[in-house]
Amino acid sequence: MASAATASRPVAVTGSVPLPSFTGTEGAYMLPHHQQEIDRLTRQHRFMNSTTGGQLLVTPNIKEKKELRVLDCGAADGTWLRDLPRQLPDHKLELHGVDIGSTLFPPPSADVDLREHDIRKPFPASWGWQSSFDVIHQRLLIWGIKSVEWPVVIKNLVEGLKPGGYIQLVEAEWISHDKPADPATRPQLHKQALMQEWSTAGFGMDIHIAYKLEGLLKDAGLEDVTTVQFDHGYGALAKAEDQKNASAELWVECFRTLDEKIPATGIPGVAANAKEFHEFLDALEIEIKTYGYQPKLNFVYGRKPLSA
């Protein structure tokens, strides 16, 4: 008979959940693009709300204007857009979203306009979007935009902003520069950092992009560039009690499909093959449930000059 202490130990549960293969965005986005991924993104949205106190936008103009034309880039099924009226119930909002794939868009509706578009390209002139948005939002595209593409993407977004409008980019400091995971006391979190480096650098992306967003916005000519930061705790460090286990499972789940991308040489310092990779993720889930994982979540915004 198991003791009470044994029975209460965290366990890994995500390894038993079958995940569909990638469909539709291979070569453009490191994470999958299918209905099960939309479910994960919806749970991720709820978790992020528990971290930020439900704040979706922190740009100054949400307090200055009661009518806002808003664009969300990487909108998926529009969950973020449909939640925005909760934060801004007294505002008149015109909501638009773009995503690289349209297969997961819900049926068209009057409240949200969703369109297929690759933000690495300028918005089509026929859309009439040039200098038209009060706020352009983009969140967690670290695994979707290559390092060399960030300036191009930001330039394209700036072209869609009204003079005086704001861009808000949301990315996390997934690997701490100040307090890296100790391989002796947090071996799985140490391996996680190696995996994160592999899953980005090896594909031309930058796991450290959150540290660079202010500079990118300034280089694009934006003013009033500011970072609002939140402690984004997973597992034992989650702010909400109901997110402690759920957030750890959510986090590990998003990496399961990377087993399709493991080369014959494996992931250095992490796993030699898919079997070892999933064993590592099981152990990582337990370590996060036990001790927690707390990256910083950066909301970085900048204003387009009135003279632009």
DSSP string, 57-126: ---THHHH-SEEEEEEES-TTSHHHHHHHHH-TTSEEEEEEEES--TTPPSP-SSEEEEE--TTSPPPGG
- Does the structure show a pLDDT above 90 at 295? yes
**What's residue 164's pLDDT?**
98
- Does the structure show a pLDDT above 90 at 124? yes
Give domain status of residue 15, yes or no: no
Give the DSSP H or E segment for 205.
Answer: none
Q: Per the structure, how many domains does the chain have?
A: 1
pLDDT band with cut points at 50, 70 and 90 for residue 136: very high
- Does the structure show a pLDDT above 90 at 196? yes
pLDDT band with cut points at 50, 70 and 90 for residue 6: very low
**What's residue 8's pLDDT?**
62
pLDDT band with cut points at 50, 70 and 90 for residue 103: confident
State pLDDT tens for residues 235-294.
999 999 999 999 999 999 999 999 999 999 999 999 999 999 999 999 999 999 999 999
- Does the structure show a pLDDT above 70 at 3? no
pTM for the predicted model, two decimal places: 0.91
- Does the structure show a pLDDT above 50 at 156? yes
- Does the structure show a pLDDT above 50 at 26? no
Q: What is the dihedral of CA 271, 276, 281, 283, to 10 degrees?
A: -110
Give domain status of residue 14, yes or no: no
Give domain status of residue 219, yes or no: yes
**What's residue 38's pLDDT?**
85
Percent of the chain with pLDDT over 90: 85
Q: What's the average model confidence in pLDDT over 205-231?
A: 99
Query: From CA 289, how far away is CA 278, in angstroms rounded?
Result: 17
Give domain status of residue 22, yes or no: no
Residue 106 domain boundaries:
30-303
203 vs 94, which has greater pLDDT?
Answer: 94
Give domain status of residue 181, yes or no: yes
pLDDT band with cut points at 50, 70 and 90 for residue 34: low
Give domain status of residue 286, yes or no: yes
**What's residue 11's pLDDT?**
76
Give domain status of residue 16, yes or no: no
- Does the structure show a pLDDT above 60 at 2? no
CATH number, position 166 = 3.40.50.150
Mean pLDDT rounded to a whole number for the chain: 92
Give domain status of residue 63, yes or no: yes
- Does the structure show a pLDDT above 60 at 19? no
Sheet holding 133-139, edge to edge: 112-116, 92-99, 67-73, 133-139, 161-173, 296-303, 223-231
Which of 25-29, 105-109, 179-183 has the lowest average pLDDT?
Answer: 25-29
